[in-house]
Amino acid sequence: MTDAPAHDDDGYDSEFDALVAPTAPISHLPPPSLAPAPAVYPGCCVALSEALIGNLGALLPPAPALVVSIGSGSGLFEALLLAEPCCLSLIGVEVQPSVNRYLPSSRHRAVVGTYSLEPLAAEATAWLFVYPRRVGLVDEYLATYGEGAVQTVMWIGPTADWQDYKACFGRGWDVRVTCADEMGGRAWEVVAVATKTPP
Ligand SMILES: C[S@@+](CC[C@H](N)C(=O)[O-])C[C@H]1O[C@@H](n2cnc3c(N)ncnc32)[C@H](O)[C@@H]1O
């Protein structure tokens, strides 16, 4: 699947959306099978591979611990983490009207605007931010719910963007940054995992 169609910067393909939009609200799509080599798939900003999903799944808490993905977009990335072999307990949060295509309604929450926060984050053991658009969103979640159950925050995005986001994690967080190509992804993306340190 290395010849996945090109898409715009946000990972959405307008032809793809036009094709699936009429049926998407009724039922969610099954995620595609991933190739061993990283490739960009319509509906996801991150270059995906089987190995990347397996490695990321292993860094997140296993079910029944709750993982909340903030800005889940089409839900493709999240649907892959819900499926075998990861089988995480995950809920994706997206702004309404949601562009979700892959997550069943039981695994999806919609918030009213880009400045809205989903209170379920207070109960989650881990948060995921995959290609977020605004540093302030990470800051606001940490300020509002960072003292709650969350133990791990995973951030995935372009290496250059991480420079802006790393300041979100000050005292109280131990941050490990790995180039995505060491985990089955592409060289220009990084995976940052922030772990809450004991007080
Ligand atoms: C660049 S897209 C990335 C989508 C997806 N994670 C991916 O990698 O393809 C950022 C997403 O964050 C969503 N978003 C922005 N503000 C949000 C908020 N307050 N809560 C939830 N999602 C939000 C946007 O609607 C958009 O779908």
Q: What is the DSSP letter of 170?
A: -
Name which residue sits closest to atom 14 of ligand 1, judged by CA.
Answer: 71
pLDDT of residue 26: 52
Q: What is the mean pLDDT of residues 132-150?
A: 98
Do the Cβ atoms of 80 and 50 come closer than 8 Å? no
Distance from C-alpha of 60 to C-alpha of 87, rounded to nearest angstrom = 11
Name which residue sits closest to atom 13 of ligand 1, judged by CA.
Answer: 71
Ligand 1 centre to CA of 179 (Å) is 22
- Asked if residue 20 has pLDDT above 90, the reply is no
Which of 68, 94, 117, when mutated, tests ligand 1's pocket best, judged by the most ligand atoms within 8 Å of its CB?
94
Distance from C-alpha of 19 to C-alpha of 28, rounded to nearest angstrom = 13
- Asked if residue 3 has pLDDT above 80, the reply is no
Tokens coding 42: 């319509």
Name which residue sits closest to atom 18 of ligand 1, judged by CA.
Answer: 114
Q: CA dihedral in degrees (87, 93, 97, 100; nearest 10)?
A: -20
Distance from C-alpha of 189 to C-alpha of 45, rounded to nearest angstrom = 10
Among 7-16, 78-87, 131-140, the least confident range: 7-16
Q: What is the mean pLDDT of residues 154-182?
A: 97
Interval 36-65: pLDDT, tens: 999 999 999 999 999 999 999 999 999 999
Q: What is the mean pLDDT of residues 108-137?
A: 98
Q: What is the mean pLDDT of residues 140-168?
A: 97
Ligand 1 centre to CA of 167 (Å) is 20
**Atom nearest to 44 CA in ligand 1:** 9
pLDDT of residue 4: 38
Fold held by 14-196: Rossmann fold (3.40.50)
Q: What is the mean pLDDT of residues 115-121?
A: 98
Ligand 1 centre to CA of 197 (Å) is 27
Q: What is the mean pLDDT of residues 85-114?
A: 97
Prediction pTM value? 0.89
